[in-house]
Structure 1
Amino acid sequence: MTKDDVETIDGFRLRARAWIRANLRPVGPNDMAGLAANVIGDGEALAVVAREREIQRMLFDAGFAGICFPREYGGQDLTPAHQRAFNEEIAGYECPVEIQAPTFAPCAAVLLEFGAEEQKQRHLPAILKGEEIWMQLLSEPSGGSDVASALTSAVRDGDDWIINGSKIWTSGAWLADWALCLARTNWDVPKHRGLTVFLLPLRGEGVQVHRIEMINGNREFCQEFLTDVRVPDSDRIGAIDGGWTVGTRWMFHERMLYNSPYVTVPAGWSQTGVDAALLVDVARDAGRLPDPGARDLIGEGRMLEVVEQALQQRIARGMTIGRMPDQAAAVGRLFHGVAMARTMTIAFDLAGGAGVAWTDDDGAVAGRGVDFLVRQTACIGGGTTEMARNVISERVLGMPREPSLDRDRAFRDVPRGPSPRS
C-alpha cells in the first residue's frame, strides 16, 4: 500500500460514524466503567464479555478492528490518527473496552513486536476477531513492582518447558484464554539476564486461577498457580534468557495502555467511571451543586481531565516523531494514577456524610466511600506510580540510577525472605 492509497482521516471518520450509528447502541457516560470498578455477578460479567467479543467481531467484519495492525494479520494498516478518529466517533456508543487491555496493549503489541511469524499468524487474527482474550502474568506475590525478581521458573525438558510458580493481581484471568508469562530460565546470572517470556494457555493443564475478593466485594483480581505446566518451545517469545529485552517493551506498552494506537476506547472514557461528569452528578444528588466550594472541586476534577487528555496526546505525538523517548510514556502513567486517585477523593468529599453511609436511593452519591477506600488502585494497576517515577528520573531525565545490591550477583545468590510455606 502506498501513501496515496491510505484512506483520508476525514473519509475514514465519516465511514466510521455512519457504521457506529447504524450498528452500536448508545450508552450513558458512566455505563461503561471497567469491570474492576463494579461489583456485579459472574453471570453478568460473562454476559458483558460475551457481548464485547461479539462487538469486536463486528468491528473486524466491518474493517474497523486492528486499525494500526498490519493487513497480513487482519488489521487495517492505518495510522494512529485514524485510530484517534475512531475513538472520537465511538464515544457515547457501546465499545469492547473490557477486552482491549491487556489483550491489545500490551499483549498483542508485544506479539506484534517480538513474536515469530507463526505465532503472529496464529494469534493476532484471533485477537482482532474477539476470539482470544489475553492476560499478562507478570507480578508475583514475593516481588511487588520488581518484576525482574521473578521466582516462577521454566525448566527445559526436550522440546518443552516445565513452568512452576505463581502470579498475582491479574484482573480478569478467570475469563481469559491466553497469557504472556515471564519466567526465570537461568538462576546463575543477574536477575535481569535470566528471564524468558512464554505464551501460556490459561485453561491448560496445571493452571489454577484463584479469585481475590477486594474490600468492595469485587473479585476480578486473580492469582494463578502454575504446577508443572508444559509449554512447547514454539510458544517461547524472544530469546532464551532474553526476556528482559521483551519485558522492557512489554512494560512500555503497558504504560501506554489506553493511549496505545492498538487500542479502541471511546475518547474521554474513564476506566473507573469516576470523571468530571460523575462529579456533577454527585454534587447534585448530595444537594451541593449551588455550593461554591463544591463547584471549585468539580472544576478541579475537570481540569485534571482536560490536562490528562492534552498530556497524553502530546506524549504520543512526541514519541511518534522521535522528539520524546519511548520511556516518556511513564509521564502519562504517573499523571493518570495521581489524577485518578485525586478525582476519587473529590467525589468522596462532594458526597459528604453520605460518602460514609448510603442507601441505594442516594443516586450518584452511593458507593463513593468504597471508591475512596480503593483509590490507590489507580496508582498500582498498570505499573505503580513509584516505578513510573523511577523510569522518568533515570530514563527520561538521565538522573543516576538508584543503588542496587543485586545488580551484578547471580540471582540464586541474592538473599530472599523465607518462603510463605516454610
Structure 2
Amino acid sequence: MDDFVYAATDPAELAEYRDEVETWMNENMPRRDPVNPWHPTHDDDLKSTRNRELQRRLSDGGYAAVCYPKEYGGQSLTIAHQRIIDDVSMDFDMPILFSVPTLSICGPTILECGTEEQKQRYIPAWIRGDELWVQFMSEPSGGSDMAGALTRADRDGDTFVINGSKIWSTFAQRSDYALMLARTNWEVPKHRGLTMFIVPIHHPGIEIHPIQMVDGTEEFCQEYFNDVIIPAENVVGEVDDGWTVASRLLFHERAAVGNASPYTQGRHRNRSADGLDDLADIARDFGGNVGRQRQRLGETETLSRVEVLLSDRVVKGIESGYFPAPAGSLVRLFHGVSRADRLTVAMELHGDRALVWNQGEDTGSYGVEFVQRQQTCIGGGTTEMARNIISERILGMPRELAADRDLPFNQVPRSG
C-alpha cells in the first residue's frame, strides 16, 4: 500500500477538513430519505445512472477517491481524510456502486500492476464517474479455486482470443469494463499459466445473463465468452504471471469487504445490522423478553466496536510491517461472521414483523437481509478461505494437501 495513505495528519487540519466537507455536502449532495419505504426490487438502470451522476458531483467538488494520487485525478490525501468523508456523508445519497469493486478493488490493482498508459486512461474515468468496473474471476466449475480457471485466452499475434465463462459478477450488466483472469498456458502448474486482462464488457462475443436473487434483484451475472478478441495492450502485468496481479486484487478485495480499504468511499447507515439506537428502538416498540434483548443488544454493540478497532489495528499493522499483507483476512473474517450475527439479532428483535408486513412498511427489509446474511461470509472469499489464509500465512501452520500442486495444468484430473 502507498505510504501517503496512512501518513500522520494534524488534528486541527482534520477538523478544518471536516468543516469543509460538511459545508460542501450540505450544499451539493442530496440527503437520503430516512422514511423511504423499503421494497424488494429496484430499477438497476436508474441506480447505475444515479450513481454515475453522484460520482461526477463528488469529483467536481474534489471529494471523490481522495486517496488516489493527484496525477490520476485523486487528491493524494490520507485514509483519515477519506474516513471524514465517509462519516459526514452517511446521511447523504452517495455513489456506493463505485466504491466496490471499481475504486477499492479494480482501482488499486491497476494502480499497482498496470502500465502508465492504463493508469492514465482508466483511473480518471472511474473517479469522474464515467466508467464502472467489475471482476470476472469466479467460474461455474471452479468454486473457490480461482487459480483453477478454465476460461482460456489464446494468443493470436497482437491479440488474445477468449473463450469460457465467468459467474457471480456484481452488476456486470450495468458496468463498462472488467478485470478478468484467464488461462494462457496449460503446460505449467495452474498458478503459473494465468494472465490478467482488461475486458470491455459490452463487446462482440460476450453474453451477459443476470441471476435473480431471493429478494427479486439481479445483482449478480454469469458471462459467456465466444471468440472474444482482446488486444495484447489490455494485459495487466505480465503474460502467464496473472496470479501475481490476482493476489494483489484479492488483497484489496479482502480489505474492501472488511472495511479496511482507504479506497472505499461513502457508506450508508445500516439500521438492521449496525445501528444500536435503531435496534434498541425496535426492542422497545415490539416488547418481548427484556433481559434477553439487552444481552443481544450488548453483543451487537460489542461486535461493532471490536470490528472498528480491529480494522484500524490491521491497517496500521500492515502499513508498519508488523502484520504481513494477508492480515487483511483477519478483518474480512470478523466482518463476515459478526455481520451475519448482527443480522440475526435484528431478525430476533423484529420477530414475525420481518416475515409479514403491510404495504408501505420497511420491516420486511430485516427479513430479507436475514435470508441473505451468509453473503458476507461468501463474498470477497469465503470465511473458510480466510481461516486457511490466517492459519497458513500468518500463523505459519502447514498448508492443506493439494493434489494438483506443481502438476502441469493439462495433466490435472478433472471430471467430465
Instruction: Identify whether the pair has TM-score above 0.5, normalized to the shorter chain.
Output: yes
Which residue matches 1:152? Answer: 151
Q: 1:275 to 1:360 in 2, by over 3 A?
A: farther
Which residue matches 1:370? Answer: 368
Q: What is the CA–CA distance in structure 2 between the aligned matches of 1:281 and 1:365, rounded to whole Å?
A: 13
1:283, distance to aligned residue in structure 2 (A): 3.1
Which residue matches 1:182? Answer: 181
1:227, distance to aligned residue in structure 2 (A): 1.1
The number of residues matched between the two structures is 407
SS at match of 1:203: coil
Which residue matches 2:307? Answer: 308
Q: What is the CA–CA distance in structure 1 between the aligned matches of 2:89 and 2:16, rounded to whole Å?
A: 15
Matched-pair contact (CA < 8 Å) for 1:281–1:364: no
Matched-pair contact (CA < 8 Å) for 1:56–1:130: yes
Q: What is the CA–CA distance in structure 2 between the aligned matches of 1:339 and 1:29, rounded to whole Å?
A: 25
Q: 1:284 to 1:412 in 2, by over 3 A?
A: farther
1:5, distance to aligned residue in structure 2 (A): 12
Give the partner amino acid of 2:404.
D
1:226, distance to aligned residue in structure 2 (A): 1.1
Which residue matches 2:103? Answer: 104
Question: Are 1:265 and 2:270 matched, yes or no?
Answer: no
Which residue matches 1:86? Answer: 85
Matched-pair contact (CA < 8 Å) for 1:337–1:379: yes
SS at match of 2:413: coil
Which residue matches 1:283? Answer: 283
Which residue matches 2:402? Answer: 404
Matched-pair contact (CA < 8 Å) for 1:311–1:332: yes
Q: What is the CA–CA distance in structure 2 between the aligned matches of 1:99 and 1:341, rounded to whole Å?
A: 24
1:80, distance to aligned residue in structure 2 (A): 1.6
1:415, distance to aligned residue in structure 2 (A): 1.1
Q: 1:101 to 1:32 in 2, by over 3 A?
A: farther
Q: What is the CA–CA distance in structure 2 between the aligned matches of 1:348 and 1:4, rounded to whole Å?
A: 41
1:370, distance to aligned residue in structure 2 (A): 3.1
Q: What is the CA–CA distance in structure 2 between the aligned matches of 1:4 and 1:328, rounded to whole Å?
A: 22
Q: Deviations over 1:320-341 (max 9, x none)?
A: 2222111111000000110111
What pairs with 1:3-22 in structure 2 (closer than 5 Å)?
A: 8-22=13-27
What pairs with 1:5-404 in structure 2 (closer than 5 Å)?
A: 8-27=13-32, 39-42=40-43, 45-257=44-256, 258-266=259-267, 269-270=269-270, 274-277=273-276, 278-284=278-284, 287-288=286-287, 291-355=290-354, 357-360=355-358, 363-404=361-402
SS at match of 1:136: strand
Q: What is the CA–CA distance in structure 1 between the aligned matches of 2:30 and 2:137, rounded to whole Å?
A: 35
Q: Which moved more, 1:253-262 or 1:243-252?
A: 253-262
Q: What is the CA–CA distance in structure 2 between the aligned matches of 1:409 and 1:30, rounded to whole Å?
A: 58
Q: What is the CA–CA distance in structure 1 between the aligned matches of 2:35 and 2:110, rounded to whole Å?
A: 32
Q: 1:162 to 1:148 in 2, by over 3 A?
A: same
Kindly report the root-mean-square deviation, in angstroms, between the aligned alpha carbons of the 2 structures.
2.5
1:138, distance to aligned residue in structure 2 (A): 0.6
Matched-pair contact (CA < 8 Å) for 1:49–1:99: no
Q: What is the CA–CA distance in structure 2 between the aligned matches of 1:259 and 1:32, rounded to whole Å?
A: 31
1:31, distance to aligned residue in structure 2 (A): 6.8
Q: 1:90 to 1:391 in 2, by over 3 A?
A: same
Matched-pair contact (CA < 8 Å) for 2:40–2:365: no
Give the partner amino acid of 2:409.
F
Q: Deviations over 1:95-146 (max 9, x none)?
A: 1112210001210110101111111111000000000100000111111111
Matched-pair contact (CA < 8 Å) for 2:67–2:263: yes
1:364, distance to aligned residue in structure 2 (A): 4.7
Matched-pair contact (CA < 8 Å) for 2:42–2:217: no
SS at match of 1:170: strand
Q: Which moved more, 1:51-60 or 1:400-409?
A: 51-60
Q: 1:408 to 1:56 in 2, by over 3 A?
A: same
Q: What is the CA–CA distance in structure 2 between the aligned matches of 1:361 and 1:32, rounded to whole Å?
A: 9
SS at match of 2:195: strand
Q: Deviations over 1:203-237 (max 9, x none)?
A: 11111110111222221111111111110000110
1:79, distance to aligned residue in structure 2 (A): 1.5
Q: What is the CA–CA distance in structure 2 between the aligned matches of 1:167 and 1:281, rounded to whole Å?
A: 43
Matched-pair contact (CA < 8 Å) for 1:256–1:329: yes
Q: 1:374 to 1:5 in 2, by over 3 A?
A: closer
Q: What is the CA–CA distance in structure 2 between the aligned matches of 1:269 and 1:246, rounded to whole Å?
A: 33
1:362, distance to aligned residue in structure 2 (A): 8.7
SS at match of 1:228: strand
Q: Percent identity?
A: 44
Which residue matches 1:414? Answer: 412
Q: Deviations over 1:82-106 (max 9, x none)?
A: 2122222222222111221000121
Matched-pair contact (CA < 8 Å) for 1:288–1:294: no
SS at match of 1:101: helix
SS at match of 2:198: strand
Matched-pair contact (CA < 8 Å) for 2:272–2:366: no
Q: 1:246 to 1:375 in 2, by over 3 A?
A: same
Give the partner amino acid of 1:15.
E
Q: What is the CA–CA distance in structure 1 between the aligned matches of 2:9 and 2:362, rounded to whole Å?
A: 48
1:366, distance to aligned residue in structure 2 (A): 2.1
User: Where does the alignment leave 5 or more consecutive residues of structure 1 unmatched?
Assistant: none
Give the partner amino acid of 1:255.
R
Q: What is the CA–CA distance in structure 2 between the aligned matches of 1:120 and 1:128, rounded to whole Å?
A: 12
SS at match of 2:100: coil
TM-score (norm 2): 0.91
Matched-pair contact (CA < 8 Å) for 1:276–1:298: no
Q: Which moved more, 1:195-204 or 1:301-310?
A: 301-310
TM-score (norm 1): 0.90
Q: Which moved more, 1:404-413 or 1:78-87?
A: 78-87
Q: What is the CA–CA distance in structure 2 between the aligned matches of 1:20 and 1:11, rounded to whole Å?
A: 14
Q: Which moved more, 1:23-32 or 1:196-205?
A: 23-32
Matched-pair contact (CA < 8 Å) for 1:160–1:233: yes
Give the partner amino acid of 2:265.
T
Q: What is the CA–CA distance in structure 2 between the aligned matches of 1:99 and 1:276, rounded to whole Å?
A: 24
